[in-house]
Homo-oligomer: A and B are copies of this chain.
Amino acid sequence: MMVVKRPKPIVDQVNSILRERIRRQEYPPGGRLPSESELASQFGVSRATVRSVLAALAAEGLIVRKQGSGTFVNERIRDVNTRLGGVLDFTHLIENSGRQASIRMVSAQTRAATECEASSLAITAGEPVLSLVRLFFADEFPAILSYNAIPVALLTGEASEYDGGMPIHQFLKQYCNQEIVYVISDIRATLANQEVVEMLECDPSCPLLELVEIFYNRNNRALVFGLNYYNDKLLNLRLVQAWG
Contacts and interface: CB of A to CB of B under 8 A. Distances in A.
A80 B184 contact: yes
A186 B85 contact: no
Interface in A228-243: 232, 236-243
A150 to B, nearest CB: 16
A180 B244 contact: yes
Counting every copy of the chain, the complex holds 2
Nearest to A61: B182
Interface residues of A, number: 46
Interface in A168-195: 169, 179-191
Nearest to A232: B188
Contacts of A59: 59
A237 B188 contact: yes
A232 B190 CA distance: 9
A238 B188 CA distance: 9
Interface of A: 30, 59, 61, 64, 66, 74-76, 79-80, 84-85, 88, 169, 179-191, 205, 207-210, 215-216, 218, 220, 232, 236-244
24 contacts: A61-B182, A61-B184, A64-B218, A64-B220, A75-B220, A76-B184, A84-B239, A84-B241, A180-B243, A182-B241, A183-B240, A185-B239, A186-B237, A186-B238, A187-B209, A187-B237, A187-B238, A188-B237, A189-B209, A189-B210, A189-B232, A190-B207, A191-B205, A191-B207
